[in-house]
Amino acid sequence: MQSYGEVAVEQMAREGAVVVFSVSTCCMCHAVKRLFCGMGVHPTVYELDHHPRGPDIHRALTGLLLSSSASASASSIGDGGNASLLPVVFIGGKLVGAMDSVMASHINGTLVPLLKEAGALWL
């Protein structure tokens, strides 16, 4: 059975071409939003610290990241800090990962095609 958080994450991740789960005080989250805005992409952003079910959603995201190969940085979640986990980025409803995965895709040229496929970029 899926938890509230998993169901919510799946629904929220489909609500935009690019969806960012963020915490308003996290600087990597600001950096990823700036990166997308600089590319002309306007992501749907959920600030978990302002969301009534933020902790449930956060727990579900942690589980998703740990069970996917998308993020090598997920291994550092254990020490109780969230900073390395968030932001979590979905493109076209698919989990891309945290800031490091987004940057790696940007650098190797796979991010832009992914954004176009999702309808977030037209150029």
Ligand X SMILES: *[C@@H]1O[C@H](CO)[C@@H](O)[C@H](O)[C@H]1NC(C)=O
Token code pair at residue 61: 């995201």
Instruction: List b or e across 85-116, with b for residues whose CB sees 16 or more CB atoms inside 10 angstroms.
Output: bbbbbbbbeebbbbbebbbebbeeeebeebbe
**Contacting ligand X (CB under 6 A), which of 49, 63, 73, 116?**
49
Considering only the stretches 12-20, 28-36, 80-88, 112-120, report the one whose residues sit in contact with ligand X under the rule CB under 6 A: 80-88
**Contacting ligand X (CB under 6 A), which of 39, 47, 82, 112?**
82
Nearer to ligand X among residue 41 and residue 105 (C-beta): 105
**Contacting ligand X (CB under 6 A), which of 8, 43, 58, 65?**
58
First to last CA, the chain: 41
Q: Please, are residues 47 and 23 in contact by the beta-carbon 8 Å criterion? A: yes
Considering only the stretches 7-15, 27-35, 75-83, 113-121, report the one whose residues sit in contact with ligand X under the rule CB under 6 A: 75-83
